[in-house]
């Protein structure tokens, strides 16, 4: 019998699968499928839970077909799941959705979070759950439902994330792992149980409506219905509860090297580091840094930014006449070659899409400061790219400072996400951060990370395949000193802007 391991990454916009043959130490299939996000006339964001589930089934069908094509003998398939953080789904007594999947980007709970930031409770929530006050967390959306749609909340038999819903559909078990539970805002990260009093007092929800908490390594047999649907009667299928996409991405990108940090730069952005210990409970920093459990002995510490690739997309669409990323890359090249002598005059405040880092502040907007009669579009474009890089540096330094005591200095950074495709961006960012940046050729970091978590000890053949084609961008001392000086001016302006 051959054993296959699949990492199944269910993200905000797509599901990705990476299938490994453990005996041959080879990757035999990598597949991805997108699904839509909707916005209603109240500007509330949601996804169709059944549509996500069907996309998952199609990916599993591809995996089963690959196994059946490989050999006529029986096989064993282990599927490790990771899902996006901060999703909310209300279910009825039949475990059918009463709402769409509400993702982190939904902003209906902004006013709720803003009220709580003005109370002492905000510190207590951050200390116990590792989650700073921020409307992305399901806790605040549940409070919103209590205030605005109490009848719907009352009708809800179960409160779920997309992870809990999918595991129930695949196995019949209503469970959730520590990592995804950490992204709710009502999970005690150190004691590994629901903060029952917190969710009851704030949202009125009884903890009996929540899924059972399990280890990320807990496995469950596929239900008979799923095996019949997949036509996999000769294949032993187990589903492993797994972790969050944030944790899986960091493990997959760094290959679980805890001397490395990750910077994810998709639509949004995040700086993350895996740690052997949580932030000290009585010394939680008064900023937006978060600390989530990964498993029984690991935590992920980081900062998230609303403004990542969406910022460059917004600028190119509105000011450069379309998705002109090559133009941005060319201008970055000019900066690296030292031909941009006036870029210190303008300052870009990169909060066009709001502010989560270094803390969540409601209703923040962006700004381009220092415009003069000699300013032009090329100069402004360079300043926008520079402002994004500087904001990433501030988040990076915050996370590094909070983890340095327990983990020491970082040896480098692994970058992921769509921004990595812009010419000269990674070389520019390496100089701004003064750290080497590695980018992997394999784009399935989260699905690979889920598989790595389960294995713990990765076969050398697979490890080699995951590192093939990696590129490393080194900072140059002459450019580092130059950007240190400009960063200092930018930080002064940012602090002023945020303190208004």
CA 29/CA 58 separation, integer angstroms = 14
Question: What is the 3-class SS of 200-262, one letter each residue?
Answer: HHHHCCCHHHCCEEECCCCEEECCHHHHHHCCCCCEEEEEEEEEEHHHHHHHHHHCCCCCEEE
List pLDDT tens digits, range 107-128.
999 999 999 999 999 999 999 9
- Higher-pLDDT residue of 364 and 340 is 364
List pLDDT tens digits, range 4-24.
999 999 999 999 999 999 988
Q: What is the pLDDT of residue 340?
A: 56
- H or E segment to which residue 116 belongs: helix 110-117
Question: Strand pairing partners for 102?
Answer: 88
Q: What average pLDDT does this structure show over 92-101?
A: 98
**Is a pLDDT exceeding 90 seen at residue 283?**
no
List the end-to-end C-alpha distance of the chain, in Å, as a whole number. Answer: 65
DSSP 3-state percent helix, strand, coil across the chain (nearest 5): 40, 25, 35
Task: Return the structure tokens found at 189.
Answer: 């990260």
Residue 178: closest CA among 168, 190, 166: 190
Sign, CA dihedral 334-340-344-350, equals negative
Q: What average pLDDT does this structure show over 30-54?
A: 94
Torsion angle in degrees (nearest 10) through CA of 20, 261, 86, 97: -10
pLDDT band per the 50, 70, 90 thresholds, residue 342: very low
pTM: 0.94
Q: What average pLDDT does this structure show over 157-161?
A: 98
pLDDT band per the 50, 70, 90 thresholds, residue 461: confident
Q: What is the pLDDT of residue 72?
A: 54
Q: What is the pLDDT of residue 162?
A: 98
**Is a pLDDT exceeding 80 seen at residue 487?**
yes
pLDDT band per the 50, 70, 90 thresholds, residue 344: low
- H or E segment to which residue 158 belongs: strand 158-160
The answer to whether residues 253 and 376 touch, using CB atoms and an 8 Å cutoff, is: no
Q: What average pLDDT does this structure show over 147-163?
A: 97
Cα–Cα distance list, 194 to 107, 191, 197, 489 (Å): 24, 9, 9, 44
**Is a pLDDT exceeding 80 seen at residue 66?**
yes
pLDDT band per the 50, 70, 90 thresholds, residue 361: confident
The answer to whether residues 131 and 185 touch, using CB atoms and an 8 Å cutoff, is: yes
**Is a pLDDT exceeding 70 seen at residue 73?**
no
CB atoms within 10 A of CB 441: 11
CB atoms within 10 A of CB 497: 17
Q: What is the pLDDT of residue 164?
A: 97
CB atoms within 10 A of CB 208: 8
Helices (H), 281-419: 309-319, 325-336, 377-407
Q: What is the pLDDT of residue 71?
A: 61
CA 463/CA 25 separation, integer angstroms = 9
Q: What average pLDDT does this structure show over 285-304?
A: 94
pLDDT band per the 50, 70, 90 thresholds, residue 442: confident
**Is a pLDDT exceeding 60 seen at residue 364?**
yes
The answer to whether residues 97 and 90 touch, using CB atoms and an 8 Å cutoff, is: yes
Query: What DSSP state is assigned to residue 2?
Result: E
Domains and CATH numbers, the chain: 2-245 (3.30.420.40)
CA 424/CA 130 separation, integer angstroms = 35
Task: Return the structure tokens found at 128.
Answer: 């116990």
**Is a pLDDT exceeding 50 seen at residue 76?**
yes
Residue with the two structure tokens 């996409």: 245
List pLDDT tens digits, range 167-210.
999 999 999 999 999 999 999 999 999 999 999 999 999 999 99
CA 374/CA 166 separation, integer angstroms = 56
The answer to whether residues 428 and 265 touch, using CB atoms and an 8 Å cutoff, is: no
Question: What is the 3-class SS of 250-300, one letter each residue?
Answer: HHHHHCCCCCEEEEEECCCEEEEEEECCCCCHHHCCCCCCEEEECCCCCEE
Cis status of the peptide bond prior to 176, with omega within 30 of 0: no
List pLDDT tens digits, range 81-95.
999 999 999 999 999
List pLDDT tens digits, range 396-424.
999 999 999 888 999 999 999 999 999 99
- Higher-pLDDT residue of 251 and 340 is 251
CA 464/CA 457 separation, integer angstroms = 13
What percentage of the chain exceeds 70 in pLDDT? 98
Q: What is the pLDDT of residue 167?
A: 98
CB atoms within 10 A of CB 413: 25
**Is a pLDDT exceeding 50 seen at residue 267?**
yes
Q: What is the DSSP string of 17-61?
A: EEEEETTTTEEEEEEEEE---EE-TT--EEB-HHHHHHHHHHHHH
Q: What is the pLDDT of residue 261?
A: 97
Which of helix, strand or coil describes residue 16? strand
Q: What is the pLDDT of residue 74?
A: 62
The answer to whether residues 368 and 456 touch, using CB atoms and an 8 Å cutoff, is: no
Task: Report the largest interatomic distance among the alpha carbons of the chain, rounded to a whole angstrom.
Answer: 74
What percentage of the chain exceeds 90 in pLDDT? 81
CB atoms within 10 A of CB 490: 26
């Amino acid at each position: 019998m051959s054993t296959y391991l699949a990492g199944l990454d269910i993200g905000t916009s797509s599901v990705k699968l990476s299938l490994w043959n453990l005996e041959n130490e080879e990757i035999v299939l990598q597949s991805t499928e997108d699904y839509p996000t909707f916005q209603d006339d109240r500007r509330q964001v949601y996804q169709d839970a059944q549509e996500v589930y069907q996309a998952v089934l199609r990916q599993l069908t591809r995996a089963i077909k690959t196994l059946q094509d490989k050999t006529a003998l029986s096989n064993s398939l282990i599927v490790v799941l990771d899902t996006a953080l901060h999703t909310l789904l209300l279910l009825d007594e039949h475990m059918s959705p009463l709402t769409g999947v509400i993702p982190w980007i939904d902003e209906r709970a902004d006013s709720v979070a803003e009220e709580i930031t003005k109370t002492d409770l905000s510190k207590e929530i951050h200390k116990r759950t590792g989650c700073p006050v921020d409307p992305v967390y399901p806790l605040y959306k549940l409070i919103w439902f209590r205030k605005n749609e109490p009848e719907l909340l009352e009708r809800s038999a179960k409160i779920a994330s997309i992870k809990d819903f999918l595991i129930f559909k695949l196995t019949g078990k209503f469970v959730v792992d520590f990592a995804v539970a950490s992204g709710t805002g009502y999970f005690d990260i150190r004691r590994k149980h629901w903060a029952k009093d917190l969710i009851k007092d704030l949202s009125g929800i009884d903890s009996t409506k929540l899924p059972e908490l399990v280890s990320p390594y807990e496995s469950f047999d596929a239900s008979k219905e799923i095996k019949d649907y997949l036509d996999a009667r000769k294949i032993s299928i187990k589903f492993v509860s797994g972790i969050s996409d944030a944790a899986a991405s960091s493990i997959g990108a760094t290959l679980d090297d805890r001397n490395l940090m990750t910077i994810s730069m998709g639509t949004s952005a995040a700086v993350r580091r895996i740690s052997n210990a949580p932030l000290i409970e009585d010394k939680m920093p008064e900023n937006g840094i978060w600390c989530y459990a990964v498993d029984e002995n690991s935590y992920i510490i980081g900062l998230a930014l609303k403004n990542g690739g969406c910022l460059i997309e917004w600028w190119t669409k509105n000011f450069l006449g379309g998705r002109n990323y090559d133009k941005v890359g060319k201008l970055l090249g000019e900066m690296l070659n030292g031909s941009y002598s006036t870029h210190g005059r303008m300052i870009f405040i990169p909060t066009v899409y709001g502010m989560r880092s270094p803390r969540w502040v409601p209703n923040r907007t962006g700004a381009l400061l220092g415009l003069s009669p000699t300013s032009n579009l090329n100069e402004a474009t360079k300043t926008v790219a520079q402002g994004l890089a500087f904001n990433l540096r501030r988040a990076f330094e915050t996370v590094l400072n909070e983890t340095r005591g327990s983990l020491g200095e970082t040896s480098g950074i692994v970058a992921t996400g769509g921004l990595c495709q812009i010419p000269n961006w990674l070389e520019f960012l390496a100089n701004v951060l003064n750290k080497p940046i590695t980018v992997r050729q394999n784009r399935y970091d989260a699905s690979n990370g889920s598989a790595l978590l389960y294995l713990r000890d990765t076969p050398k053949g697979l490890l080699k395949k995951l590192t093939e084609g990696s590129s490393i961008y080194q900072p140059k001392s002459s450019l580092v000193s130059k950007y240190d000086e400009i960063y200092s001016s930018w930080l002064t302006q940012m602090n002023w802007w945020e303190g208004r």
